[in-house]
Chains A and B, each alone.
Chain A
Amino acid sequence: MFCEKSVELIRELHRMGDGQLPAFNEDSIRQVLEEMKALYEPEQNQSDVNEAKTEGKSELIPSIKFRHCCLLRNQRCISAYLYDRLLRIRALRWEYGSVLPTAIRFHMCAEEMEWFNQYKKSLATYMRSIGGEEGLDITQDMKPPKSLYIEVRCLKDHGEFEIDDGTVILLKKNSQHFLPRWKCEQLIRQGVLEHVIS
């Protein structure tokens, strides 16, 4: 049957329901596109269409419609695949910040990288345009803050880290610090720091 390959693409995303980004499956996409070409191919489909038109062979219409449905189905699957991936990539900007780990970047195709960069830019432009002179970082304070400073513990060596007043602190594994909340929110989300509640 046709359109098995394109559903495979959808299954692949569906299996990772939590928003992980699997590697871009270029191979399958190409196979689906080839199948679509074959469905549309001049030798068979087009000759059927011509015969139906010029010679009034209406008995060919069901087969033509059959192929047409398959083409539309493949189109739907591929669009949904690409669109769902974009949703996932957009989420990455909010979860990881503007710089993605290399392992994840390897899972994106060139066009997706470009889209991600454009999205980053649009978001940055928007954030600069609101909240007065300095702009407003809307990826901060996803949960309403209760205090300006929080206690955090380092989960891995992260190197030096500069805070507002210019002090440089060393984020060493298992060290504990009392830092401005807005400075560490991103690092907590990335799993570098852990929020300690006493």
Chain B
Amino acid sequence: MDALSYLSVPPGIGMEENFFSLDDILLSHERLPCRTESAFPRLGFLEKSSDSRDIPEGTKMEMPLWLAKGLYEKKRRVLSMELPKVYREGWRTVFGADPAVVDLQKMGPYYYGLGSQMLHFDSPENPEIANTILQTFIGRFRRTMDSSQNAYNEDTSALVERLDCLERSLFKSGQSGLNSFQLWEKGRSSHLTASSLVINYRKRKITDLQA
């Protein structure tokens, strides 16, 4: 495969977010259910269900993760966070039974990322959440690795369909490793090819013309 000269900023590891990472910005846009524990004066227009000037205390609303993280304080209770369904007890049992059957693309698609981010908020269930995420990853990793190392020259869309974003990027690196290895085995690794950027750009131009 081509050694690409464009590499996007990688997402942060664990509970950290990477400031410039596009993935992390999209991850922190996921909405979380929460309840306001103090009023937000003069911001009532953000809550479409009511006409009042303020957002009163005790309003249930959905907030993106970045905002919840910014407003949340351990000492002064401004917000109380609720767990999204996938991290609650019921789903944790499902993951405990067989992590491989769950469609993480549908449930996430940032299942691991969001789960780690939830640990920023004080919740008595945090240890269980952390453990479930870890065990889920371990339980699914082998299959992801196997399929990425053995699907050569075939349509992989069915294989990645149910993977979380993190797993997809692992799958992709596995595939590019496999492809490079195959090229080397065939003695073609010194074959010069057109840059994939140039090729894709040309493809797009053709579709632009058709549109």
Residue positions of A touching B, CB distance < 8 A = 1-3, 7, 10-11, 13-14, 17-20, 44, 48, 59-60, 62-63, 65-66, 68-70, 72-73, 76-77, 79-80, 83-84, 87-88, 90-92, 94-96, 103-104, 142-146, 150, 181, 184-185, 188-191, 194-195, 197
CB proximity of A68 to chain B, nearest CB, Å: 8
Q: Across the interface, do A14 and B197 meet the contact criterion of CB distance under 8 Å?
A: no
**Contact residue among B26, B43, B71, B191 (Cβ-Cβ distance under 8 Å from A10):** B26
Number of A-B contacts (CB under 8 A): 137
**Contact residue among B7, B8, B38, B189 (Cβ-Cβ distance under 8 Å from A62):** B38
Report the Cα distance A10→B21, complex, angstroms.
10
Residue positions of B touching A, CB distance < 8 A = 3-9, 19-23, 25-26, 29, 38-43, 46, 64, 66-67, 70-71, 78, 188-202, 204-205
Q: Across the interface, do A10 and B22 meet the contact criterion of CB distance under 8 Å?
A: yes
Q: Across the interface, do A189 and B42 meet the contact criterion of CB distance under 8 Å?
A: no
Q: Which residues of chain B come closer than 8 Å to A72, judged between CB atoms?
A: 70
Q: Across the interface, do B198 and A95 meet the contact criterion of CB distance under 8 Å?
A: yes
Closest to B38 in A: A62
Q: Which residues of chain B come closer than 8 Å to A95, judged between CB atoms?
A: 5, 195, 197-198
Q: Across the interface, do A143 and B190 meet the contact criterion of CB distance under 8 Å?
A: yes
Q: Across the interface, do B66 and A69 meet the contact criterion of CB distance under 8 Å?
A: yes
CB proximity of A10 to chain B, nearest CB, Å: 5
Q: List 28 A-B contacts (CB under 8 A).
A: A1-B46, A7-B26, A14-B26, A17-B8, A19-B197, A44-B42, A59-B39, A62-B41, A66-B40, A68-B70, A69-B71, A73-B66, A83-B9, A84-B22, A87-B7, A87-B8, A90-B5, A91-B197, A96-B198, A150-B192, A189-B198, A190-B198, A191-B194, A191-B195, A191-B199, A191-B202, A195-B193, A197-B188
Q: Which residues of chain B come closer than 8 Å to A88, judged between CB atoms?
A: 6
CB proximity of A108 to chain B, nearest CB, Å: 14
Q: Across the interface, do A63 and B25 meet the contact criterion of CB distance under 8 Å?
A: no
Report the Cα distance A127→B113, complex, angstroms.
41
CB proximity of B52 to chain A, nearest CB, Å: 13
Q: Which residues of chain A come closer than 8 Å to B41, judged between CB atoms?
A: 48, 59-60, 62-63
Q: Across the interface, do A188 and B193 meet the contact criterion of CB distance under 8 Å?
A: yes
Q: Which residues of chain B come closer than 8 Å to A7, judged between CB atoms?
A: 25-26, 29
Known: A1-B46, A190-B198. 5 other contacts (CB 8 A): A62-B41, A66-B43, A87-B9, A95-B198, A143-B192
